[in-house]
Chain A
């Protein structure tokens, strides 16, 4: 049975859908991807659907599910290269993927992913710094 390859690029996983998605393939991808995220401790998933010409409600839900599962596993998902027809279909199906990040192409998607995951660490430091600063201000009067 054929599978959709999941490539690892450092902290991220790259999934490029280049064949017609059928339901079995989608389910296999879901399984494989969740296993790989857990295995590799990936921080982000880039789902390239630029070759996907058509979607149905099942595939639409699968995209949404993949994003949801990745989030649970602490990986950001960016869906890139969605075709206009696919976007229209998903909207008409009521699948507006509210919490999924999207980008026009792989390059922009990668930028977004880097920004999303790199900002995690500095923000924590900044927060700590702010808290220390606040603590310093609070403790300085007495």
Chain B
């Protein structure tokens, strides 16, 4: 949490992508911590996108009653990155050769 927040200050980032693809399970504490991190980042002026939530974790989050509210969640890191690019007014396009 602190590491992310410190890096946001250092880099002046406006968007942070938290990819949890490698996280197999989540308990209440972890989910709550994730939520706190996202809220703290927002307070500092950076928006968080969570990506790679496994079906198991999605079930856990809902069963635990953790409210992700208006936090943007994306299926894959690529999707999250796409959102991050479009939020910052950038796009990745295929070059079409004439």
A residues at B contact (CB < 8 Å): 79-80, 82-84, 86-88, 90-92, 96-97, 102-105, 108-109
Contacts and interface: CB of A to CB of B under 8 A. Distances in A.
- Listed residue (A91, A92, A103, A109) with the most chain B CB atoms within 10 angstroms of its CB: A91
Given A104-B9, A104-B12, A82 B45 contact: yes
B12 to A, nearest CB: 6
A102 B39 contact: no
A91 B14 CA distance: 19
B18 interface: no
Contacts of B46: 104
A88 B14 CA distance: 18
A88 B42 CA distance: 11
B36 interface: yes
Nearest to A107: B12
A82 B39 CA distance: 12
Interface in B24-71: 36, 39-46
Nearest to A79: B43
Contacts of A103: 45
B42 A102 contact: yes
A1 to B, nearest CB: 30
B1 interface: yes
B6 interface: yes
A86 B9 CA distance: 13
A91 B39 contact: yes
